[in-house]
C-alpha cells in the first residue's frame, strides 16, 4: 500500500505527517510520501526545529504532485483544510480528509500545536492500517 499525505505547499503539514508515519510505521509493505498542490519554498527552520523537538526529522525540499506519483498511490490523506477532495476523485482508491489548519512558519507555538494534532491523526491512521 502507498499513502500520499497532501497539503498546499508540502513544507509543513504533509511533511510532518509523512515524517511521523515513517517513524512509527512498522509494516514495511506500507510506504508513505508527501507532496503539495503547489511546490512551496524551502521548509522553514522553525518547522525543522519543532520536528526535532518532537522526535521527527523533517528534511528535503517541497515536492509537488505528479501523475506518475498518483498512479502508485492507494490512499491520499489530505492533511490540510484548504485542499478540495474533488481534486483527487477518480484518481486513487481512497481519500481521507483531516482538515488541519495552517499557521505562519515563524509561529513556533502554532507549528508545535498543529504538529501534535497531525501526529495524533497519524497514530490513529497507523492503528487502522496494522
**Domain housing 121:** 2-129
Assign residue 101 the CATH number of its domain: 3.40.50.2300
Find out whether 116 and 16 touch, Cβ atoms under 8 Å.
no
Q: What pLDDT was estimated at residue 50?
A: 94
Distance CA 47, CA 111 (A): 7
Residue pair 19/124 in contact by the 8 Å Cβ criterion: no
Query: How high is the pLDDT of residue 54?
Result: 95
Question: What is the reported pLDDT for 78?
Answer: 98
Model pLDDT for residues 13-70, shown as the tens digit of each residue: 999 999 999 999 999 999 999 999 998 888 999 999 999 999 999 988 999 999 999 9
Beta strands in 49-128 (DSSP E): 75-80, 94-100
For residue 105, what pLDDT is reported? Answer: 85
Please state the domain count of the chain: 1
The predicted model scores a pTM of: 0.95
Residue-wise pLDDT tens digits, 99-119: 999 998 889 999 999 999 999
- 69, three cell numbers: 506519483
Amino acid at each position: 500500500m502507498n499513502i500520499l499525505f497532501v497539503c498546499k505547499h508540502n513544507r509543513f503539514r504533509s511533511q510532518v505527517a509523512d515524517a511521523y508515519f515513517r517513524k512509527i510505521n512498522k509494516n514495511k509493505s506500507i510506504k508513505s510520501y508527501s507532496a503539495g498542490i503547489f511546490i512551496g519554498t524551502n521548509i522553514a527552520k522553525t518547522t525543522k526545529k519543532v520536528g526535532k523537538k518532537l522526535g521527527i526529522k523533517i528534511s528535503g525540499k517541497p515536492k509537488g504532485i505528479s501523475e506518475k506519483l498518483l498512479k502508485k498511490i492507494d490512499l491520499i490523506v489530505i492533511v490540510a483544510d484548504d485542499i478540495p477532495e474533488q481534486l483527487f476523485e477518480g484518481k486513487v482508491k481512497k481519500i481521507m480528509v483531516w482538515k488541519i489548519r495552517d499557521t505562519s512558519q515563524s509561529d513556533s507555538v502554532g507549528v508545535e500545536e498543529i504538529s501534535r494534532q497531525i501526529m495524533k491523526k497519524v497514530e490513529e491512521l497507523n492503528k487502522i492500517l496494522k
